[in-house]
Amino acid sequence: MTKCKGLLGIEPRNINTFHLKENILNILTYTLLTIVVICAIWLFCDISGHRDRFFYSKRDSVALDLSLSHTQEVLLRSDSEYRGRNVNCTFWDCLNIYKCEHDTLKVYIYPLQEFLDEQSDKVATTLSSEYFQILEAVLNSRYYTSNPNEACLFLPSLDLLNQDVFDKHLAGPALASLNFWDRGENHLIFNMLPGNAPTYNTILDVNVDNAIVLGGGFDSWTYRPGFDVSIPVWSPLLQQSSILPAHTTTHRKYLLIVAQLNLLPQHLRSLRELSRSASSAEQLLLLGACENRELTSRCSTMHHAKRWDYPRVLARGKFCFVGRSLRIGQPDLLEAMSQNCIPVLAIDNFVLPFEDVIDWSLAVIRIRESEIHSVLRKLQSISNVKVVEMQKQVQWLYSNYLKDLKSITITALEVLESRIFPLQARSSRKWNAISKNSHSTFNPLFLTSLAPKSQGFTAVILTYDRVESLFLLIQKLAVVPSLQSILVIWNNQRKAPPHLSTFPTIAKPLKIIQTRENKLSNRFYPYPEIETEAILTIDDDIIMLTSDELDFGYELWREFPDHIVGFPSRIHVWDNATMRWHYESEWTNQISMVLTGAAFHHKYWSHMYTYAMPGDIKHWVDDHMNCEDIAMNFLVANITNNPPIKVTPRKKFKCPECTNTEMLSADLNHMRERSACIDRFSKIYGRMPLRTVEFRADPVLFRDNFPDKLKRYNDIGSL
């Protein structure tokens, strides 16, 4: 804008120098000129303000301009060869994969064209608002390319959404006349209403040849699995309405609402019978068309013809009926879902939208057409918990994949993308987001078998300069039978670690790594030197743990390889006075954290800590030189929802000679800081993932009146 003001500043001076002239025409001229200059400046500002966009759109508009006034006309000769749809197409032979060798899916859109028959001057198709939106969605998506040579898929701008509207004898030649048609290879055909009276095929009767059909009314005979994509039939009624908030069942008065107008007469009959015999009117609401023949209202078919707003009325029912009509794909499915009403589908062999990625069993009830008469009985047997789960799933699916034509189009392209690039494909778990509430998780360590005993564990000792205590610790660790190797992380950059020869000689491998920076996170780096699954992170001053304790700790970790298993435990408590979390090291009946000063964990958690910790926790820990153990506990608890496991009664760590808890020696400031950590981390995670438990793990024969010789772990029990 400053640039614009500068230009404006020059301009009045121009006017002043010529203002002396008396000639009115001149005044007029210069006024005009001024206007022109202002216009020019304004235009310049407008363009330079959006420079990027301008050039971008300019580049694109060369290739594709969706403005309606610029449609080309193409004349068709009707004698072109007619080829049907290739019913034997599979992904493996009809799709030219060589066009898709780029890393991402690219879609080319043909420019808008109007196809006219040479003889009759009839138009092949007319562009509908919905198809325009589909084109626009692709155009604005990351899939669009203006270069047909780098495109993997081709999208004709020929509107074939509704077979009733276009001329099927012209649509075929029109498709065949496309520049890159080549028997329809890699072409996408969007269609929502296939078939005509009287047969109503479930696939559009156009010679789409080898093209991929993204169709709204497939049955399982016409759908070519893995090749075609089933899409929902869009409802124009949903164009204006915004998404409703999720209604709970409490507002939903009716068990089942039937508001579909064009149900097959025989199905409608059995539903009518059902509504007559339904024990109470609250179970089944049967709605028909009103006098005014409008889609936005429905009238009760029973005695008093009350008028209801459609589709809002569907929000009053738990379940909404979607049945077979002449065409099997009906917009009622989306209308029901938009009102968060669980669809009850009674269409045999209907291929549901995006069926190969969406697990519809979580969101719809399917019944067979021949069992419509028992639909109420079936719905009544569904538990309330299930109904709520399904409602959530319906809402989630609708708002993610189906809420408007843009979402539908993009989802369809994503389905194709996941076929063409299976490596990037989402798993069905992700497609269906079974994690809907914030507490649900996916435990990456889901192999249930016990970890092998033979591997042993790697002790990772973080040390700065306490060499004496370090050597003592190494000596103590070396005699633990299950120890595989020791890794010393020398976190002191000013001083080189003592030479390897000065280290105590032990029978196990020992390695020293000098770090570049003195960071606490170094203890959780997944060093390639760690060859075992289990890592024992241990502070260099924890020398009081006995060999039996460590051995038992490892044994325990093998049974709970996805937990943190360790010795020093802590608890977090909510302080009602300050409305904050409070860190507590008292000996209490509960624990929620196990400190990594002496704890076992799977190496995967080290990887996660280093590379996948949410927010800026890792930086924060490194900057403050504190709370790395709390961060680890948060990380594991958040991913697995598992509590940590405390091993054996051992409680005193920092000063074995102290008589009471370590609070005496601990710094109050330190505690305050750690409380702040908990507060901070729980804000970053958006919840408190830590779980409190009241148990600890001891050996089976702990404190039993039993000969010590026969006990496997004797030296356990001191504090």
Does 43 bind another protein (CB under 8 A)? Our answer is: yes
CB of 60 or CB of 673, closer to another protein: 60
CB of 347 or CB of 627, closer to another protein: 347
Among 9-17, 395-403, 572-580, 644-652, which window interacts with another protein (CB under 8 A)? 644-652
Neighbouring C-beta atoms of residue 635, cutoff 10 Å: 24
CB of 236 or CB of 614, closer to another protein: 236
Considering the complex, what minimum distance in angstroms separates the CB of residue 222 from another protein?
10
Considering the complex, what minimum distance in angstroms separates the CB of residue 561 from another protein?
7
Among 121, 291, 694, 708, binds another protein (CB under 8 A): 694
Q: And the tokens for 17?
A: 């120098």
Q: Which of 465, 468, 471, 474 is nearest to 493 (CA)?
A: 465
Does 400 bind another protein (CB under 8 A)? Our answer is: no
Considering the complex, what minimum distance in angstroms separates the CB of residue 99 from another protein?
12
Considering the complex, what minimum distance in angstroms separates the CB of residue 35 from another protein?
7
Among 448, 505, 659, 669, binds another protein (CB under 8 A): 448
The SS3 call for residue 583 is strand
CB of 65 or CB of 673, closer to another protein: 65
Does 46 bind another protein (CB under 8 A)? Our answer is: yes
What mask of x and - would describe binding to another protein in positions 492 to 521, judged by CB under 8 A? ------------------------------
Among 116, 132, 302, 626, binds another protein (CB under 8 A): 132
What is the rounded distance in angstroms from the CA atom of residue 535 to the CA atom of residue 482? 12
Does 78 bind another protein (CB under 8 A)? Our answer is: no
Does 133 bind another protein (CB under 8 A)? Our answer is: yes
CB of 10 or CB of 710, closer to another protein: 710
Among 7, 11, 45, 60, binds another protein (CB under 8 A): 60
CB of 162 or CB of 463, closer to another protein: 162
Does 127 bind another protein (CB under 8 A)? Our answer is: yes
Among 173-181, 190-198, 205-213, 540-548, which window interacts with another protein (CB under 8 A)? 190-198
Provide φ and ψ at 619, rounded to 5°: -65, -45
Q: What DSSP assignment string belongs to 491-543?
A: --SSSPPPPGGGSPP-SS-EEEEE-SS--GGGGG---TT--SSEEEEEETT--
Among 146, 455, 475, 610, binds another protein (CB under 8 A): 455
* CA distances, 343 to each of 22, 239, 319 (Å): 80, 20, 6
Does 181 bind another protein (CB under 8 A)? Our answer is: no
Q: What region does 651 belong to: left with phi over 0, alpha with psi -120 to 50, or beta?
A: alpha
Q: What region does 454 belong to: left with phi over 0, alpha with psi -120 to 50, or beta?
A: alpha
Does 573 bind another protein (CB under 8 A)? Our answer is: no
Among 78-86, 147-155, 189-197, 498-506, which window interacts with another protein (CB under 8 A)? 189-197
Q: Which helix (H) or strand (E) holds 31?
A: helix 24-49
Among 7-15, 168-176, 461-469, 646-654, which window interacts with another protein (CB under 8 A)? 646-654
Does 590 bind another protein (CB under 8 A)? Our answer is: yes
What is the rounded distance in angstroms from the CA atom of residue 191 to the CA atom of residue 187? 13
Does 555 bind another protein (CB under 8 A)? Our answer is: yes
Strand-pair category, 598-602 with 565-566: antiparallel
Positive or negative, the CA dihedral 246, 249, 254, 260 is positive
Among 121-129, 173-181, 505-513, 676-684, which window interacts with another protein (CB under 8 A)? 121-129
CB neighbour class for 80 (10 Å; exposed up to 12, middle 13-18, buried from 19): middle
CB of 624 or CB of 691, closer to another protein: 691
Considering the complex, what minimum distance in angstroms separates the CB of residue 646 from another protein?
7
Does 205 bind another protein (CB under 8 A)? Our answer is: no
CB of 236 or CB of 504, closer to another protein: 236
Among 5-13, 75-83, 432-440, 479-487, which window interacts with another protein (CB under 8 A)? 432-440
Q: And the tokens for 334?
A: 């989306």
Among 262, 277, 380, 514, binds another protein (CB under 8 A): 262
Among 435, 493, 514, 665, binds another protein (CB under 8 A): 435
Considering the complex, what minimum distance in angstroms separates the CB of residue 447 from another protein?
4
CB of 300 or CB of 441, closer to another protein: 441
Neighbouring C-beta atoms of residue 1, cutoff 10 Å: 8
What is the rounded distance in angstroms from the CA atom of residue 229 to the CA atom of residue 153? 14
Strand-pair category, 534-539 with 598-602: antiparallel
Does 44 bind another protein (CB under 8 A)? Our answer is: no
Q: Which of 97, 110, 87 is nearest to 175 (CA)?
A: 110
Q: What DSSP assignment string belongs to 536-563?
A: EEEETT-----HHHHHHHHHHHHHSTTS
What mask of x and - would describe binding to another protein in positions 332 to 351, judged by CB under 8 A? ----------------xx--
Torsion of CA 662, 668, 669, 675, to 10 degrees: 80
Positive or negative, the CA dihedral 538, 540, 542, 547 is positive
What is the rounded distance in angstroms from the CA atom of residue 53 to the CA atom of residue 416? 29
The footprint of another protein on this chain (CB under 8 A) covers a number of residues equal to: 176
Among 362, 472, 506, 666, binds another protein (CB under 8 A): 362
CB 367, CB 347: distance < 8 Å: no
CB of 330 or CB of 411, closer to another protein: 330
Does 614 bind another protein (CB under 8 A)? Our answer is: no
Among 174-182, 311-319, 437-445, 538-546, which window interacts with another protein (CB under 8 A)? 437-445
Q: Which helix (H) or strand (E) holds 375?
A: helix 375-380
Among 1, 197, 577, 579, binds another protein (CB under 8 A): 197
540 is catalytic: no
CB 48, CB 145: distance < 8 Å: no
Among 541-549, 622-630, 641-649, 664-672, which window interacts with another protein (CB under 8 A)? 641-649
**Tokens 């890699």 — which residue?**
186
CB 185, CB 94: distance < 8 Å: yes
Q: Which of 217, 214, 209 is nearest to 228 (CA)?
A: 214
Query: Which residues within the stretch 700-719 sit at the binding site for another protein (CB under 8 A)?
Result: 700-706, 710-713, 717, 719
Query: Which residues within the stretch 273-312 sit at the binding site for another protein (CB under 8 A)?
Result: 288-289, 293-295
Query: Which residues within the stretch 467-496 sit at the binding site for another protein (CB under 8 A)?
Result: none
Among 1, 25, 577, 668, binds another protein (CB under 8 A): 25
Q: How far is CA 250 from the centre of its chain?
A: 29
Peptide bond preceding 331: is omega within 30 degrees of 0, i.e. cis?
A: no
Considering the complex, what minimum distance in angstroms separates the CB of residue 540 from another protein?
26
What is the rounded distance in angstroms from the CA atom of residue 429 to the CA atom of residue 435? 8
Does 101 bind another protein (CB under 8 A)? Our answer is: yes
**Which of these is catalytic: 159, 548, 551, 629?**
629
Q: And the tokens for 89?
A: 């197409």
Catalytic residues: 629
